[in-house]
Each structure stands twice: as structure tokens, then as C-alpha cells.
Amino acid sequence: MKKLINNPADVVKEELMGVALAHPDLVRVHFDPNYIVRVDAPIQGKVGVISGGGSGHEPMHGGFVGVGMLDAACPGAVFTSPTPDQMYEATKAVNGGAGVLHIVKNYTGDVLNFEMAAEMAMAEGIEVASVVIDDDVAVQDSLYTAGRRGVGTTVLAEKICGAAAEQGRSLQEVADLCRKVNGWGRSMGMALTSCTVPHAGKPTFDLPEDQMEIGIGIHGEPGRTRMPLKTADEITEMLALPIINDLPFKSGDTVIAMVNGMGGTPLIELYIVYRKLAEICKGHGITIARSLVGNYITSLEMAGCSITLLKADDDILKLWDAPVKTAGLRWGL
Amino acid sequence: MKKLINNPADVVKEELMGVALAHPDLVRVHFDPNYIVRVDAPIQGKVGVISGGGSGHEPMHGGFVGVGMLDAACPGAVFTSPTPDQMYEATKAVNGGAGVLHIVKNYTGDVLNFEMAAEMAMAEGIEVASVVIDDDVAVQDSLYTAGRRGVGTTVLAEKICGAAAEQGRSLQEVADLCRKVNGWGRSMGMALTSCTVPHAGKPTFDLPEDQMEIGIGIHGEPGRTRMPLKTADEITEMLALPIINDLPFKSGDTVIAMVNGMGGTPLIELYIVYRKLAEICKGHGITIARSLVGNYITSLEMAGCSITLLKADDDILKLWDAPVKTAGLRWGL
């Protein structure tokens, strides 16, 4: 296992120490239980927006804590759900009296632990709403899920709901918006290689040199099919068409499009995929109004990519354009 | 070779098509000869700032074209110098009458071709100044260089000089500033794995499973030494101490610090390196005033990292903080 780490058991702790040292203007890091929180939290009268999940998907979620996006993020061990006490403490830390939204990716552990944390917080009089993101069209059920997995739309939901909370919308409004974003977002990913979880010390799965996996999960969970490696254009079609046909996205729709790298994919390749995605969308009469090309929801050093399309109305586009200041996504500030 | 590409011969062209489609608000892409140029170029009365080099290091340079940074970038084939006509045409495209600065990484082909382009432009009455970046402390001469290689300081120079040009400083002033930044910047990198150039189809070099290379170049050129894999803390020391001792950076100095991923390194690992770098700087009495942690000057999917320290005065820090709007680096806009 070749990694820039010290002891596998210390990976998350030492990463969080690095985050705290690199971004003192944006975040504070709380240890035991671990969470990353906006430096100015709690903000009185503002809905708090938090998320969390296993580490190894950076910049999601910790890199999205800051003005206009998340108020806090709870990182678990690599590819492992955070514990309810992390989410409970983070909820308390961001509660400014207007309630707290939990954005939860649909993995069994995340869902259960966020539910427990919400109950604990509500028992103390904090209003909590939870929205589960389940946008991955690849498979219906999965290794760690009942129903679809939560993937790329999470990044877009965090940006858009964070902007809405920053504007002063109510918990009900921000939660409804998050449900709308989840309802309008669809994703699918693929892998060229596996990744290696530090405490496992060996690749999560074997993928022969001439094979790829279509529909892969962000923890390396099996997708739809393995097949011989295809061209970027063919792969982009294999991801984009199931996404478009699922909602379905229709001629005349406006979307935000994300081409996301899994962690070990050169940016040059992601732009080649984006080129074909833009062509496919155009062919379907779908207008890409905004785009994001880069590493946003990763799987350690996995090579591969995912595509997310989010149907967008004027409200969503305005919230997308609103200022954001985080380590992983920043504009206008 | 596992890559998200179509034909290896089309990689750069198709990437540039993707860039043009993804960022129409920021840049235009010119083909044959290839260059990426600010959508609003040329800007009358503003010094134009351009750079270029082989592709495969994205987001550098094309991802740094936009307000407050580069006016144009010339991408060559992967790991291959762009041609003089690319630089010449880009120079003409950004010339707003105040002259053009060429920021050139110290590789023999880049230096020769930028020289030729500068002569061609000057023959047409365009004032051109060139500054060569040679900040890599790893080795004195190298496979493609006489003298030190140009690496991470290039990113910082492009940001700082781009801001100075945006402020309306003269060509002489921007060029002098670029020389100061080069004089005050030092870098060193390391690799855990090789990368594979698309048209080569196989890894650039072999690095056994238990070995790493310290002082690697961004094209996989040999560094100082190969040795068994060490911990992240030991590796960070092996990079930081030669950098600190070279300038030398002294107690009381203020710096901008970059921990850069080579393309295939998870962000979580870069923050572990940053944590140790911050500790080392503190131990030397060096204050990190600003930091950058992520993939900025990459080597395709190589796993590894580099560290850059730039001594910074108030002018440099203010220019660093100035608004920038590019695909790869953005704040304030």
C-alpha cells in the first residue's frame, strides 16, 4: 500500500489537524467527537445545514463547510458512517435557533445514525429536518443501502441548500428545497481501478487491466456490469443515457452538470468526458446552464468518474450562483 | 493503459473542446495553433500575462486563465513544449498595448520556443518580457533542463503577477515582481507511482511497490534518490528541509505554502502532509500566512506530492488576496 500517511489508525485525525491548520479563516475542527464547523457558528436566526459520512470522499463533506454551504460536517472513519454523537454535537454547535437540516446520503449506517442524532437533538428542543439523497441510478439496492445510493447530487444539494439557508429561508423551506433537488438530480459513476482503504491495506476489489466497472458505488460497491474498457465517448454515453432516461430529463430542460473525478483521474480526462456529455445533452435538447468539472465526491485514489445532472429552475440557478466560501468550492467571496 | 480517452492523438484537442464548452464565461479556445485565452482579451492598457507548457499538468496552465491571473495559456502535447507559433499567436491575442509577460518554466524546449515567440512578437512591435521560473531545489540539472526545473512556484507567480497586471502595473513592474517571486519561491516533489503518457501507453518509469522517488520532476524525470517508502511525516521533512535550507527561509519569515497533489493523491493525504509542514515551519519560526492544498500542478495520475514555500511581503500577500476568477483558482469573484 503506497500512501502518504503515518499510521492507518491516525489518517482521519491527522487529516483533520491539517484542515484546521490550513483553513483557520473558514472552519474550526472539534475532536472527540470529530466534526468540522464554520468558524462563525452558530449563526443566530439562520438554519444550520450539516452533512457527514465516511471519510475518503474529500473534498465532500468537510471541504464544503463555510459561508453559503455547510455549517458543519461529520467525518467518519474512511468509508465508515460517523457516529450519532458526532452528528448530535455538530447539530448543537450549529443551532442558531432556526433549526438544523441534516443532508444524509442513503447508506444504511448514515441514515440510522443521523436518525438517532436527530432524535437526541429534538429531545433537547432543537428542530431538525432530514433529507435523504438517493440519486444514483446505477442499481436499485446495494451493499450498504436499501434503495438507491446517495452520490453526486449531494454536492449540489449542499451548495444550493446552503445558499438558501444563508438567505434566511426557514427550515421547512430549506428542507423542501433539498427534497426538490434530490428529486431532480440523477447520477451514475464508473471505475477504471479500485482504491485501497488505509486500514484494509489492499485494494477493495480486483479489476483486471482490460476491464472497467459501470455503475460503481463511491465505496467500490458493485455496479451494473463489468466489461472491457471502452472509449471515453462510449463510457460517457453509458453513464449519461441512463441518467437522462431515468428522471427523465426532457427537451427544453435546463440543468446543472457535474463531471466528477473519483480521485485518481487526471483533469484532462474529465474535460474529454465533459465534451461528450455536452454533445449528448445538446442532442437531447437539454441546456447545460452551469457546470462543475473536477474532484468533488471522490473515492480515495480510485480512477474513474461520475456524471450528475440536476434539473434547474431559476430559483436553483440563483442559489447556485450565490456566493460560497469553502475550501472545496468558492466564488463571489 | 486505463484512461478516459478516445484516441491518444486526440487527447489535447478533445480536452480543449471540453474546456471551451465548460467555461464559456471565462475563456475562448483557439485551435491550430492551440491556446486558451481570456474571453475579454485583449484588454486595452493592461499588461498581458501568458504561460504555457506541455499538457498533463492541469489545472496549470489553462485552468488559470481568467480575471486576475493569466490572459492566455499555450498547451503543448502531453509533457511536450508548445510551439513558438502558439506562443506568438497567444501573445498577439492578449496584447492590449501595454506589453506581454511570458512566464516560462525552465525546460529547454519551453525556454527556446518562448524566446523565438518573443522575437517574432517584438518584430511586430509588441513589447515582451520573459521570466524563467526555476524553483525546484531537487536537482541542479535535469533530463530536460540546464539549471533547476520550474515547478510549483509557477502557480503562485501566475496568481501574483496576474493580480499585479490587473491592477494596471507596467510590464517592467510585473516582470520585476515575477523575478522576485521566482527568487523567493522554492519547491520539491516526490512520487509514489509513475504516470502513463497516453501516446506512450506504458508507465514513464518503474517504481517498485515498496519504493518512492524523492525529488521527482513533473514529467517523471529522476530526482535525488529512490528509497523504501517512509511515513508521511518523514517524507514531508525530506521535502521541507531542503526547501527551507536552500533560500534559506529564516525565523521571522512569512510565507505562502502550497501542498500540491501530483494528480492521483487523495486530498486526505495532502492534508496529512500539510499538518506536518505547518509543524516544521512553526519549528523554524516561519509563519504560514496563506496556504493552498490540492491539485494545482499535476503529472497526469501520478501519486505523490510537492511542497512549495514562497517568502511573502505585504505586496505579495495583497496581490495573493486580490480577486481571481479561473477554472482552477477562484475567489472574490
* Test mutation, A2, A4, A16, A29, chain B, max B CBs within 10 A: A4
What number does CATH give the domain B185-318? Answer: 3.30.1180.20
* Chains A, B: CB pairs < 8 Å: 181
The class that CATH gives domain B8-184 is alpha beta
**Smallest Cα distance from A45 to chain B, Å:** 26
* Test mutation, B1, B2, B3, B4, chain A, max A CBs within 10 A: B4
pLDDT of residue B143: 73
Could you confirm whether A284 is annotated as catalytic? no
Distance between CA atoms of B274 and B241, rounded to whole angstroms? Answer: 14
AA letter at A136: D
**Smallest Cα distance from B110 to chain A, Å:** 20
pLDDT of residue A142: 76
pLDDT in tens, B48-80: 999 999 999 999 999 999 999 999 999 999 999
pLDDT in tens, A235-249: 999 999 999 999 999
CATH 3.40.50.10440 location in chain B: 8-184
Partner-chain contact A21 B275, CB within 8 Å: yes
Distance between CA atoms of A182 and A163, rounded to whole angstroms? Answer: 16
pLDDT of residue B121: 98
CA angle A96, A25, B296 (to 5 degrees): 125
Confidence of residue A7 (pLDDT cuts 50, 70, 90): very high
pLDDT of residue A320 exceeding 90, the answer is yes
Marked catalytic residue, from B23, B30, B57, B61: B57
Q: Residue A152 has which C-alpha cell?
A: 453526486
A71 CA to centre of own chain:
15
> Pairing relation of β-strands B100-105 and B48-55?
parallel
Q: Name which of B2, B19, B58 is nearest A303 (Cβ-Cβ).
A: B2
Partner-chain contact A22 B263, CB within 8 Å: no
CA angle B33, B39, B41 (to 5 degrees): 80
AA letter at A293: V
Closest residue in chain A to residue B279, using alpha carbons only: A21
Closest residue in chain A to residue B58, using alpha carbons only: A267
pLDDT in tens, A165-211: 999 999 999 999 999 999 999 999 999 999 999 999 999 999 999 99
Average pLDDT over residues B294-315: 98
Partner-chain contact B21 A274, CB within 8 Å: yes
pLDDT in tens, A298-316: 999 999 999 999 999 999 9
Q: Give buried/exposed letters for B78-102 (b at 16+ CB in 10 A, else e).
A: bbbbbbbbbbbbbbbbbbbebbbbb
Partner-chain contact B273 A18, CB within 8 Å: yes
Could you confirm whether A219 is annotated as catalytic? yes
CA angle B32, A271, A248 (to 5 degrees): 125
Partner-chain contact A278 B56, CB within 8 Å: no
Partner-chain contact B4 A63, CB within 8 Å: no
Q: What ranges in A32-148 are assigned the alpha helix state H?
A: 84-94, 108-123
3-state SS string over chain B? CCCCCCCHHHHHHHHHHHHHHHCCCCEEEECCCCEEEECCCCCCCCCEEEEEEEECCCCCCHHHECECCECEEEEEEECCCCCHHHHHHHHHHHCCCCCEEEEEECCHHHHHHHHHHHHHHHHCCCCEEEEEECCECCCCCECCECCCCCCCHHHHHHHHHHHHHHCCCCHHHHHHHHHHHHHHEEEEEEECCCCECCCCCCECCCCCCCEEEECCCCCCCCCCEEEECCCHHHHHHHHHHHHHHHCCCCCCCEEEEEEEECECCCHHHHHHHHHHHHHHHHHCCCEEEEEEEECCCCCCCECEEEEEEEECCHHHHHHHHCCEECCCCEECC
CATH 3.30.1180.20 location in chain B: 185-318
pLDDT of residue A245: 98
Q: What is the mean pLDDT of chain B?
A: 97
Percent of chain B with pLDDT over 70: 100
Q: Are B206 and B321 in contact (CB under 8 A)?
A: no
**Smallest Cα distance from A229 to chain B, Å:** 8
Partner-chain contact B3 A263, CB within 8 Å: no
Closest residue in chain A to residue B306, using alpha carbons only: A4
Q: Are A2 and B212 in contact (CB under 8 A)?
A: yes
Task: Give the DSSP H or E segment for A239.
Answer: helix A232-246
Distance between CA atoms of A177 and A168, rounded to whole angstroms? Answer: 13
Burial zone of A162 (CB within 10 Å; 0-12 exposed, 13-18 middle, 19+ buried): buried
State residue B290 phi and psi, 5-degree precision: -140, 155
**What 8-state DSSP symbol labels residue A65?**
B
**What 8-state DSSP symbol labels residue A64?**
G
Q: Residue B158 has which C-alpha cell?
A: 501566475
Number of alpha carbons in the 13 Å side-chain half-sphere of residue A4:
38
Partner-chain contact B278 A22, CB within 8 Å: yes
pLDDT of residue A244: 98
pLDDT of residue B145: 79
**Smallest Cα distance from B332 to chain A, Å:** 4
Cross-sheet strand order for the sheet of B225-228: B225-228, B211-214, B185-191, B304-311, B254-261, B287-294
A180 CA to centre of own chain:
16
* Cα-based distances in Å from A264 to A132, B30, B265, B266: 28, 29, 7, 8
Confidence of residue A143 (pLDDT cuts 50, 70, 90): confident
pLDDT of residue A45 exceeding 90, the answer is yes
